[in-house]
């Protein structure tokens, strides 16, 4: 029985199809068709559109308001009708009587918060990672997460009551120091410490979540190898755990450095009073007063733009330093 000859060019076509099959990762390559892809993945594209619309509406379109920083802005005249003043708003801010205390308080509070509250979630996550009893570990995690979901108004109200003269914390401090109870929010050192510790109490557990996730991805064989080499728990932490989560730590540090100057105005507004303006007033509270109380929108926008530029510079600088030192960076 004679075998039929294969059609001319069929072997060539088969080789081409096999080549497309392997290059496509097991799926034969097909021409790109955006409309067809949208029809097949409608839900994904709808979600993508919603996310893009959110960022465009609430993050990019409002950036047109930066024009107010260079204008004597009037809501009645609008962006294009207000008088253009150039850098006058920036000059007014830098020559103002509050520039010294604003920069000092913002830097001190921001740096203290960074030094204390950046490593705190890392240490807490390392401690939780060493707990072997699952039920006890879950209880600790739940208790540490709960303060994050408490309203800042409630938290600051409790802090004010506890730290005023005769309050629980004020009495404890007086008993330990041998002095008389006093309002801790009226002293610079105690106000800064109360603010930082309040942030720690509220954000410690929630901030440790990302580090716990990073710890779960560390290869367990590395611990076994370190144990066989005679390394104890402390050396395993130094030589296995910390290097394993170093990229996560670097990423969070870069993001945190970009927000050092963005000291939250909400909690400070709830804690400060005319008695502690000198050491509690920061750039964001000044923006609030100028914009929403004195209706000087041009000056408040200029100060906010200055604050954002400083934050961006710090973020880029930290990113470059981390990239050279550790090899890990955000971009």
What is the per-residue pLDDT across 63-84, written as a single tens digit (0 to 9) for each? 888 889 999 888 888 888 888 9
Please report how the helices 168-177 and 152-163 are oriented relative to each other, as an axis angle in degrees rounded to 10.
Answer: 40
CA pair distance 101, 283, nearest whole angstrom: 9
DSSP letter for 84, please: E
Mean pLDDT in residue range 254-283: 85
Model confidence over 220-245: pLDDT tens digits?
888 888 888 888 888 888 889 998 99
320 pLDDT above the threshold of 50: yes
Q: Which residue has the higher pLDDT, 28 or 190?
A: 190
Confidence category of residue 3, pLDDT binned at 50, 70, 90: very low
How much is the pLDDT for 18?
A: 43
Which whole number is the average pLDDT over 209-213? Answer: 91
Q: In the chain, how many H helices and how many E strands?
A: 19, 2
Question: Measured between alpha carbons, how far is 64 from 331 in angstroms, rounded to an integer?
Answer: 26
CA distance 270 to 155: 10
Residue predicted with more confidence, 2 or 181: 181
- Tell which wins on pLDDT, 283 or 1: 283
pLDDT at 32: 58
- What is the overall mean pLDDT for the chain? 84
Position 27 scores a pLDDT of: 43
Q: Is the pTM of this model over 0.95?
A: no
**Considering the chain, what percentage of its residues have pLDDT values greater than 70?**
90
pLDDT at 2 over 50: no
**Mean per-residue pLDDT, 132-153:** 89
pLDDT greater at residue 25 or residue 37: 37
pLDDT at residue 70, as a whole number: 92
For residue 129, how many other CB atoms are within 10 A of its CB?
A: 18
Mean pLDDT over 108-127 rounds to 92
Measure the CA–CA gap between 250 and 49, rounded to whole angstroms: 31
Residue ranges of alpha helices (H) inside 24-151 are: 34-40, 42-55, 78-81, 88-94, 99-117, 119-130, 134-145
Average pLDDT over residues 5-25: 47
The pLDDT of residue 43 is above 80: yes
Which position has the higher pLDDT, 255 or 7? 255
Predicted local distance difference test score (pLDDT) of residue 266:
83
Q: What is the pLDDT of residue 30?
A: 42
C-alpha torsion sign, points 31, 33, 36, 41: positive
Average pLDDT of span 276-301? 88
Cβ pair 204, 121 in contact under 8 A: yes
Residue 115, pLDDT score: 93
């Amino acid at each position: 029985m004679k075998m039929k000859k294969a059609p001319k060019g069929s072997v060539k076509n088969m080789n081409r199809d096999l080549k497309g099959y392997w290059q496509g990762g097991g799926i034969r390559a097909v021409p790109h068709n955006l409309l067809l892809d949208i029809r097949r993945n409608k839900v994904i594209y709808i979600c993508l559109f919603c996310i893009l619309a959110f960022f465009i509406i609430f993050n990019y379109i409002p950036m047109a308001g930066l024009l107010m920083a260079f204008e004597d802005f009037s809501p009645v005249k609008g962006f294009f009708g207000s008088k253009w003043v150039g850098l006058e708003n920036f000059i007014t801010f830098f020559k103002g009587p509050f520039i010294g205390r604003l920069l000092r308080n913002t830097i001190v509070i921001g740096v203290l918060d960074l030094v204390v509250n950046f490593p705190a979630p890392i240490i807490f996550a390392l401690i939780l990672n060493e707990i072997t009893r699952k039920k006890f570990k879950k209880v600790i995690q739940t208790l540490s997460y709960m303060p994050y979901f408490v309203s800042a108004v409630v938290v600051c109200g409790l802090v004010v009551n506890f730290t005023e003269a005769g309050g629980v914390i004020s009495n404890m401090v007086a008993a330990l120091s041998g002095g008389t109870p006093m309002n801790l929010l009226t002293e610079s050192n105690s106000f800064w410490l109360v603010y930082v510790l309040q942030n720690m109490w509220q954000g410690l557990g929630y901030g440790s979540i990302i580090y716990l996730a990073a710890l779960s991805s560390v290869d367990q064989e590395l611990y076994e190898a370190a144990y066989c080499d005679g390394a104890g728990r402390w050396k395993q932490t130094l030589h296995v755990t910390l290097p394993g989560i170093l990229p996560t730590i670097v990423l969070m540090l870069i993001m945190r450095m970009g927000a050092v100057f963005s000291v939250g105005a909400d909690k400070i507004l709830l804690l400060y009073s005319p008695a502690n303006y000198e050491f509690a007033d920061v750039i964001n509270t000044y923006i609030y007063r100028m914009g929403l109380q004195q209706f000087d929108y041009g000056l408040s926008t200029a100060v906010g733009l200055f604050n954002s530029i400083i934050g961006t510079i710090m973020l880029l600088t930290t990113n470059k330093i981390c990239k050279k030192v550790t090899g890990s960076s955000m971009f």
